[in-house]
Structure 1
Amino acid sequence: MRRGEERLADVAATAAVGARLAAVLRPGDVVTLTGGLGAGKTSLARGVLAALGLAGEAPSPTFAIVQPYDPPEVRLPILHVDLYRLDDPAEVDELGLEEARRDAALLVEWPERAGAGRWPEALALDLAMAPDGARRLTWEAPDAWDGRWPR
């Protein structure tokens, strides 16, 4: 397991991290995005989607819970998932995410709502607000991400 930290000065820097991530994503990958409300989780996911070719701004999946993106809209099938509204980790099983992972990558906001240890092979990104308005990105990359992250 490798760990690291990076300061993100603004939304553009957050989107740039998303673009770096998009360049290395593969079907079956899971990227978890943690952090408080307004920390930049959706901005980072939007950076990934834009770098994969999505025209326009991706909506937050807070109410849909799962927002799928498929070619030709993007170069790689992606499920943008927001688990904020789930009350019980068992509800995650009903979303069909493991089956969808065969062909798509998952970007999962609020992964802690899925229960501890749900995706041990995930690239875990955590965003926190700094006092000056910037964001602090910390990450944990398991062995499956060797050579891909950090980039």
Structure 2
Amino acid sequence: MEAVTFRFETPEDTMAFGRALGASLRAGDLVLLAGPLGAGKTTLTRGIADGLGVGGRVSSPTFMLARVHPAGSAGVPLIHVDAYRLGGDLSQLDDLDLDTELERSAVVVEWGEGTADRLSDDYLVVRLDRRDDDVRVVELEPHGAWASRTADLRLSA
């Protein structure tokens, strides 16, 4: 599994990459977003939602744990989860029944590394880091079937 790194100068660049990633997603895809507060996880998710063509406002689901965005133009619903408040409590993650939802939706989990990665052997970790000059460095770490799919993302970024 080879990591791929990108550098995005503006939040719009992060959104554009999210759109490209979203356009490539299909039902059953699991994307885990990692990075400190303010790194751009929700901005990236807005781009993913736009790329999927889903409706509704995309914001951090911190106080709800999960938001479901009905299928849009791509025909794939988006489930946006914020695992930050779980604090490692996997029973709450199980209560969301994501393994069932994953069959028919694309699932994006902020703060999901180390918790939601057990939902599938095929997942993509997207690590975001914000530098002092507001530049975002984004690293993709593919697992399982994602290893062959990241080449397409390299071309679109």
Give TM-score, length-normalised by structure 2. Answer: 0.86
Higher helix share: 2
Q: Which runs of 4+ in 1 moved over 3 A?
A: 54-57, 72-75, 115-120
Aligned length: 151
Cα distance change on mapping 1:115 and 1:20 into 2, 3 Å: closer
Cα distance change on mapping 1:64 and 1:73 into 2, 3 Å: farther
SS for the counterpart of 1:16 is: helix
Does the Cα contact within 8 Å between 1:86 and 1:113 map onto a contact in 2? no
SS for the counterpart of 2:145 is: helix
SS for the counterpart of 1:137 is: strand
Cα distance change on mapping 1:74 and 1:26 into 2, 3 Å: closer
Q: Which of 13-22 and 71-80 deviates more?
A: 71-80
Give TM-score, length-normalised by structure 1. Answer: 0.89
1:89 and 1:112 map into 2 onto residues whose CA distance is 12
Gaps of 5+ in 2: none
Does the Cα contact within 8 Å between 1:89 and 1:113 map onto a contact in 2? no
Report the equivalent of 2:125.
124
Output the amino acid matched with 1:49. A
The offset of 1:72, in angstroms, is: 4.2
SS for the counterpart of 2:71 is: coil
Does the Cα contact within 8 Å between 1:29 and 1:101 map onto a contact in 2? yes
Report the equivalent of 1:139.
140
Gaps of 5+ in 1: none
Cα distance change on mapping 1:55 and 1:100 into 2, 3 Å: closer
Q: Which of 138-147 and 15-24 deviates more?
A: 138-147
The offset of 1:9, in angstroms, is: 0.7
Is 1:20 the counterpart of 2:23? The answer is: no
